[in-house]
Amino acid sequence: MHIAIIGNSAAGLTAARTIRKIKPSAGITVISDESGPAYARCLIPEILAGVRDIPGIGYATQQFYQDYDINLRSGIKVSSINAVNHKLKLEGGQVIKYDRLLVATGASPVQPGWPGSDLPSVFTLRTASQAVMIRKMAIDCASAVVEGGGLVSLKAAYALKKRGVKDVAVIVRSPHILMKQLDRDSAGLVENDLTSVGIKFYYGTGLAAAIQGPRGELQSVELEDGRQLPAGLVVIGKGVQPNSELIRNAGGKINRGILVNEYLETSLPGIYAAGDCIEVTDSVTGAQVVSGLWTLAVEQGRIAGCNLAGQARKYPPPLTRLNSAQFGSVPFVSVGDVQGGDELAVYQGAGVYRKLCFRDNRLTGFIMAGLVDRAGVYTSLVKQAKKLSAPLKDRLINGKVTGADILPILTRQGGIQ
Ligand SMILES: Cc1cc2nc3c(=O)[nH]c(=O)nc-3n(C[C@H](O)[C@H](O)[C@H](O)COP(=O)(O)OP(=O)(O)OC[C@H]3O[C@@H](n4cnc5c(N)ncnc54)[C@H](O)[C@@H]3O)c2cc1C
């Protein structure tokens, strides 16, 4: 049996590893349009900051592919899938035949459409090679502008500052940064942290145009509100869209992402999909979402790998909102539904913020900023979604809960204390 995998990252590589363990005799080909072995995409801001290089964020070595007998075709794009004849066409015309296929094509940054956004000094940040290019350009750059207030934008802004760019401005259309993860108060703590290293924020506006200097080089940007900011380089972080076109063109079903069943099989029999390219149902909100999390891509890769190798495994609805980060001195964690709930418990101290969201006496989400002690305990309770006793709820609210407190909930069937 020959299994082909498109995408050599969190989902694709995990699937390949899983298949090899279950089915030692299977032929496995992994195809990626990025060159070289897999790397940890989450760590590319460290390349930008000059802290690591590409081998330093490696997720697999060349030796790994040999040890696991995986045929890696890197630096080449799959241009189409023929789902009837079980064939992939590569750019350049070569055809690869498969028995089963995994599409783990991830997502691509949303491209801006404003005048000048195609200049060479305007970047998105998704790949290690982009990070290398931005890092090179940042050496001679006194001012950089980052568009977007999400995690990737802020990681880019912080990395540019670390790299030594004097003026770094972040343009945020929303009322505060990290709208998906934080509320106004917790976002304020993170913003102060970033401001303290010299990053400036401009709210309620977006980029309108890039303005070129006499030699055609990027000189400044114009904001939608008419202001102009000096800019030697621009990084755009306006979100990502799933790479679903291969499945769409092959006749498969797509919504926002590739649609899969509980076994991660697409609507095309024998073709599975995993990672940032698929749409899943969030376990807390029930919403159909494209998750965009490394950990979930790995888990989906594992489940898809089992199914591809013939061991049927279901993929239950995951917790898709689960973020933690720390730029300077303020760590934060955001888990579950942090906007809703029928009962909120908020604690605010000096440099510390905690918000717990309950629905029907279940913990449905929380934010911690400044202090993230026991975030794992709270996360387990959001995942379990079980009713909480009054004493346990009190301990959660007071921040006194321990792992031992929740052990009965995690182990007991039914879980109501
Ligand atoms: C800067 C940054 C920071 C991040 N930080 C975090 C974090 O802190 N925590 C977290 O959970 N997540 C983070 N993420 C998100 C995380 O990296 C992704 O969720 C994860 O990489 C998804 O893995 P994947 O395997 O689904 O797809 P991807 O990692 O996107 O890989 C898909 C691969 O398939 C290739 N491909 C696509 N189409 C084709 C084709 N037609 N032919 C051949 N190859 C193709 C792509 O080029 C790519 O190499 C971050 C992402 C970025 C960019």
DSSP string, 206-248: -EEEEEE-TTS-EEEEEETTS-EEE-SEEEE---EEE--HHHH
Strand partners for 239: none
DSSP state, residue 269: T
Q: For the purposes of burial, counting CB atoms within 10 Å of the CB of 92, is it exposed (0-12), middle (13-18) or buried (19 or more)?
A: exposed
- Total Cβ atoms within 10 A of residue 324: 14
- Check: CB of residue 78 under 8 Å from CB of residue 90: yes
87: three-class secondary structure by DSSP: strand
* CA–CA dist 402, 389 (Å, integer): 15
Q: Of residues 42, 141, 277, 306, which has the active-site annotation?
A: 42
Distance from residue 70's CA to the centre of ligand 1 (Å): 20
For the four alpha carbons of 97, 103, 104 and 110, in that order, the dihedral sign comes to positive
**Domain range summary for the chain, segments of one domain joined by +:** 2-37+55-107+240-308, 122-236, 330-411
3-state secondary structure (DSSP) of residue 322: strand
User: What was the pLDDT predicted at 115?
Assistant: 96
State whether residue 273 is helix, strand or coil.
strand
Q: Do domains 2-37+55-107+240-308 and 330-411 have the same CATH topology?
A: no
334: nearest Cα among 320, 350, 351:
320
In whole angstroms, what separates CA 177 from the centre of its chain? 17
Task: Return the H-helix or E-strand segment holding 349.
Answer: strand 343-349
CA angle 273–54–19, rounded 5-degree value: 30
SS3 196: helix
Write down the pLDDT at residue 411: 66
In angstroms, the CA 38 to CA 258 distance is 23
Q: What is the CA radius of gyration of the chain?
A: 23
Cross-strand bridge partners of residue 135: none
As a dihedral over the C-alpha atoms of residue 342, residue 343, residue 349, residue 351, rounded to 10 degrees, the angle is -30
Query: What parts of the chain have a pLDDT lower than 70?
Result: 411-417
CA angle 297, 364, 41 (to 5 degrees): 20
What pLDDT is recorded for position 412?
56
Assess whether 42 carries a catalytic annotation: yes
Distances (CA, A) of 259 to 172, 243, 291, 362: 31, 12, 13, 30
CB of 335 sitting under 6 A from ligand 1:
no
Q: For the chain, give the number of residues.
A: 417
CA distance 143 to 230: 6
104 lines ligand 1 (CB under 6 A): yes
Ligand 1 centroid – CA 289 distance (Å): 16
Give 360-401 pLDDT, tens digit per residue.
999 999 999 999 999 999 999 999 888 999 999 999 998 888
Angle, alpha carbons 189-236-216 (nearest 5°): 130
Ligand 1 within 6 A of CB of 54: no
Distance (angstroms) between ligand 1 centre and the Cα of 275 equals 8
Nearest atom (ligand 1) to Cα of 126: 53
Q: Give me ligand 1 centre to Cα 263, in Å.
A: 21
Q: Is 153 in the pocket of ligand 1 (CB under 6 A)?
A: no
Report which protein residue has its CA nearest ligand 1's atom 23.
10
Q: Is the CB of 42 under 6 A from ligand 1?
A: yes
CA 41 to ligand 1 centroid distance, Å: 6
For ligand 1, what atom is nearest to the CA of residue 155? 1
Ligand 1 contacts CB of residue 250 (under 6 A): no
Architecture of the 330-411 domain? 2-Layer Sandwich (3.30)
Residue 119's contacts (CB-CB under 8 Å, 6 or more residues apart) are 210, 212, 218
Can you say how many angstroms the Cα of residue 213 is from the centroid of all Cα atoms in its chain?
35
CA of 9 to the centre of ligand 1 (A): 6
Is the CB of 125 within 6 Å of ligand 1? yes
243 lines ligand 1 (CB under 6 A): yes
What average pLDDT is seen over the chain?
95
- Ligand 1 atom closest to 322 (CA): 11
CATH for 122-236 is 3.50.50.60
pTM of the predicted protein model: 0.95
Q: How far is the CA of 276 from the centre of ligand 1 (A)?
A: 7
Which positions ≥6 away from 294 have C-beta within 8 Å? 10, 40, 41, 42
Q: Judge if the beta carbon of residue 9 lies within 6 A of ligand 1.
A: yes
- Ligand 1 atom with minimal separation from the 79 CA: 41
Q: Any idea which fold 2-37+55-107+240-308 has?
A: FAD/NAD(P)-binding domain (3.50.50)
In this structure, the residue with its CA closest to atom 50 of ligand 1 is: 42
Q: Is 167 in the pocket of ligand 1 (CB under 6 A)?
A: no
Ligand 1 lined by 45 (C-beta under 6 Å): yes
Among 8, 14, 30, 32, which is best to mutate for testing ligand 1, by the most ligand atoms less than 8 A from CB? 32
Find how far residue 186's CA is from the centre of its chain. 21
Which residue in this structure is represented by tokens 């992994």? 30
C-alpha distances (whole Å) from 88 to each of 6, 94, 107, 113 are 10, 8, 20, 32
Would you state the pLDDT for residue 413? 46
